[in-house]
Amino acid sequence: MFQKKTTLLAVIVLCMALFLAGCGKAKTEPEPEPVVEEPQVIEEPEPEPEPEPEEEEITTAYPVIGEREESGGKIQSYLTGQWTDKEQATRRPIAVMIPNNAPAMPQYGLSRAGIIYEAPVEGRITRLMAVIEDFDDLDRVGPVRSSRDYYVYQAMGYEAIYCNWGLAVPYVEELINRPNYYNVSAAVTGIHNPADEAYGRHKRPGYATEFTGYLFIDGLFKAVDRLGYDWNYDENYVPPFLFVADGVRADYAENEEANYIYPGGKSGQNSGGYGAYHPYFEYHDDDYLYYRYQDGKKQIDELTGDQLTVSNVVFQYCHGEVRDDHDYLAFGVHGEGDAIVFTNGRVIKGTWKRYDGDFTPAKFYDENDEEIIFNQGSTWICNIWDEYGEFVEYGQE
């Protein structure tokens, strides 16, 4: 009996020893390290560069002046296409109102104009507007007369500083005094910010007082400074003409020839404004210039003593109306109409268009709606009253 108890006790002790041994082993074994997976990096492909837009190739009948380039202190003029001192060609021009009737002759400084704009006024005579960028060395320009609103609108298209001396009413006062419009005008009715310092009388024995008033250039600069005007062209400026490149002539050899041009007809019968003094142009093929005649005589610039000449002549046809009993006129100088460009002794028929607002000029297009290429030099634009366009004559003589 005692032996059985002893044996049973031994078995129990052995089992407890084995159990304790197993528990001790479980505590001493290291636990496995957790596995941390690295995040997967997905590289996105670099976007392919967008192709550069192809520049539209512009082809013209003749090579033309593109972006203006400076060379030796000179740059191509917006008004003539010719190389001009940079200081002059990068600032606004002046647009000066000049009478064109016999009692005013001769005018002073017209030969310096890059553009001469001519249009009818009351009394069925014409008046000129000289658009000039080369005036620094002049003492004066004139004589100077009063404004008409269609001249103001044309001057706006060239971003010119408008110069006139005379009544600004009727039809002009609101327009010329707008805050975004630059004018240097003598103190007369309708001018809100007169520039007396820019004007004065010049002795002309035998001339009526109304033909002795001139714009003086020293006073012009003082007036522009006092009025706070900016001489710089607007960054969105639109040049009025497309000029042929240096060393090339736009000859238009296939076009009709014309060496005489009569805006009012050869006999001067046009009562639309060009009949009073019978102006015309004569083309000389030895120097490619159009010579201006009026009232049976050469039209002379008193500054030089020479006959007025230009490289291009334009007939810009506009609808006209008589506004009132004083015979003040209105002309439509926005929109579009017929046009004839004379250059190199040839005739280019087409149209003019002006749809982009007051501060853009009329542009001239041929019958294929391609912009006409002008030869370098000055241009004379005759506003032709549509209703009297039948009297226009040109051809070979």
Give me the chain's average pLDDT, please: 88
User: Residue 242 — pLDDT band, cuts 50, 70, 90?
Assistant: very high
**Phi–psi pair at 92, nearest 5 degrees:** -65, 145
DSSP secondary-structure letter at 38? Answer: P
For residue 39, what pLDDT is reported? 46
For residue 372, what pLDDT is reported? 98
Mean pLDDT along residues 340-359: 97
For residue 108, what pLDDT is reported? 98
pLDDT in tens, 176-222: 999 889 999 998 888 999 999 999 999 999 999 999 999 999 999 99
- With 80 as the cut, is the pLDDT of residue 361 above it? yes
Specify whether the CB–CB gap between 361 and 240 falls below 8 A.
yes
For residue 389, what pLDDT is reported? 93
For residue 47, what pLDDT is reported? 56
- Biggest alpha carbon distance in the chain? 172
Specify whether the CB–CB gap between 69 and 76 falls below 8 A.
yes
Mean pLDDT along residues 6-35: 41
Residue 204's Cβ-count burial label (10 Å; 0-12, 13-18, 19+) is: middle
The sign of the dihedral angle between the CA atoms of 152, 271, 352, 301 is: negative
Which range (49-58, 165-174, 279-288, 348-357) has the least confidence? 49-58
300's CB contacts (< 8 A; 6+ apart) are 105, 106, 306, 307, 308
- With 50 as the cut, is the pLDDT of residue 267 above it? yes
- With 60 as the cut, is the pLDDT of residue 43 above it? no
For residue 145, what pLDDT is reported? 96
Closest CA to 112 of 92, 91, 140, 86: 140
78-79-82-88 Cα dihedral, nearest 10 degrees? -70
Chain centroid offset of residue 275 CA:
32
Alpha-carbon distances, residue 391 vs 32, 261, 262, 336, 394 (angstroms): 112, 11, 9, 21, 10
Mean pLDDT along residues 75-104: 97
CA–CA distance, 362 with 368 (Å, rounded to integer): 17
For residue 390, what pLDDT is reported? 92
Mean pLDDT along residues 272-277: 90
Collect contacts of 27-35 with beta carbons under 8 A, ≥24 apart. none
- With 80 as the cut, is the pLDDT of residue 14 above it? no
Q: What angle do CA 243, 244, 245 make, to 5 degrees?
A: 115
